[in-house]
Amino acid sequence: MILTTTLIAKEIGGHITPNQADVVIDNAAKLEEGGAHSLGFFSNPKYEQSLYQTQCGAVIVPLGFKPQQSVSAVLIEHPNPYFAFCTVLTNHFNPNVHRTGIESTNVHPTVKLGEHIHIAATAYIEEGAVIGDNCIIYPGVYVGRNVVVGANTLLYPNVVVYADCIIGNHCIIQAGSVIGGDGFGFAPVNGKYMKIPQIGNVILEDWVEIGSNCSIDRATMGSTVIRTGTKLDNLVQIAHNVEVGEHTVLAAQTGIAGSTKVGAYSQFGGQTGVAGHLTIAPHTSVGGQGGITGNVTESHQKLTGTPATDVRTYLKSVASTRRIPELVKEITLIKEEIARLKSGE
C-alpha cells in the first residue's frame, strides 16, 4: 500500500486543509532534515521557524494552527501532533518489522508457543515457559524455566529472564537487561555473610519498557513488581521486593533499594538514589542525582538534592551555600574588630 497524506490523516483522525495536494510519504524526518516525501511534526512554538523552512512533504501540526508565513508542506492538523507522529512511526516506519518463525533449536519441547511468533537462532527457552502471540525474541535471549511472556512483547538480544518470572503484554526489554537475578540478600554470621536464597520472582505488568543493561532483582519471597505502563531508562537498578507504581518513569542510573514502594505516576531524574524499605507517594518528581532517604508521604511533591527536599527549599539552600566565602570573610573582620576593642585600641 502506498502511504499518502490522505491515508495518514484518516489513520490518525487528523484534518487536512481543503484543496491541498495528496503527497506520497515514504519516510519520517525532523523538520530540518526532511525531503519531498518525508513526514514531520510540529508542536513546540520554539521551532515554528523550522516549519516555514522545512522541505518535508507533510507536517502534522496542532489542531487550529494558523501559519504566519507560507508553508510548502501539506499540513495535517491533530490535537496531539507528537502522539499522532508516533502512531505513524509505529505503524509504518518501525525498524522492528514483525517476523515469524522459529529459528532456534534450543526451545524445550514443553514450551507453549503462541501464534505468529519469532524466535531467532541462539535464543534459549527453558522447559515450561509460555510465549504469547506475536512475540519477537532476538538472538542470545535466555528465557528460564516456567517464565511467562505475554503477547506482543519484544525481547532484544541477550536479554535474560530468570525462572518463574512473568512478563506482561506489549512489553519491550532492550538488549542486555536481566530480569529476575538474585536480590542482594545476605545474613551476617560469625563475621561472614551467608547468602539468603531468593525464591520469589519478578512481575512486569503490561506496556512496561525496560532500557538496556537494567537489572531487576527477584524477590526474596513474593514478587518484585513493575506496574502497568512504567518506563525504565538504561542502567536502572531495581532491588528485591520493590514495587514501582503504574506509569512511572525512571531515568538512567536510577537505583531503588529493597522493599521500597514507589507510587504511581512518579518521575525520577537520572542517578536518583532511593533507600530501602520506604514508601514514596504517587506523583512524586525527583530531580537528577536526588537522594531519597525517608518516606515521602504527600503526593505531587517536587524534590531534589540529597537528602531530597522541596525544590524551592533546596535552591534557597544552594544560594546560601554560595555566600559562605563572603560570610567567612565578614566573620573574620568582626573577630578582628572585637579583638581590637578588647585590647583597647
Helix intervals (H) in the chain: 5-12, 48-53, 81-88, 311-322, 324-343
- Whether the CB-CB separation of 185 and 167 falls below 8 Å is answered with no
Residues 240 and 224 sit within 8 Å (Cβ to Cβ): yes
Tell me the longest C-alpha to C-alpha distance in the chain.
Answer: 98
Q: Which of 240, 277, 283, 300 is catalytic?
A: 240
Q: CA 290 to CA 309: how far, in whole Å?
A: 9
Task: Based on the residue annotation, tell me whether 240 is a catalytic residue of this protein.
Answer: yes
For 19, the grid coordinates are: 484543496
35-41: long-range contacts (C-beta < 8 A, 24 or more apart)? 39/8, 39/85, 39/88, 40/73, 40/85, 41/81, 41/82, 41/84, 41/85
**Dihedral of alpha carbons 90, 96, 101, 106, sign:** negative
Catalytic residues: 240
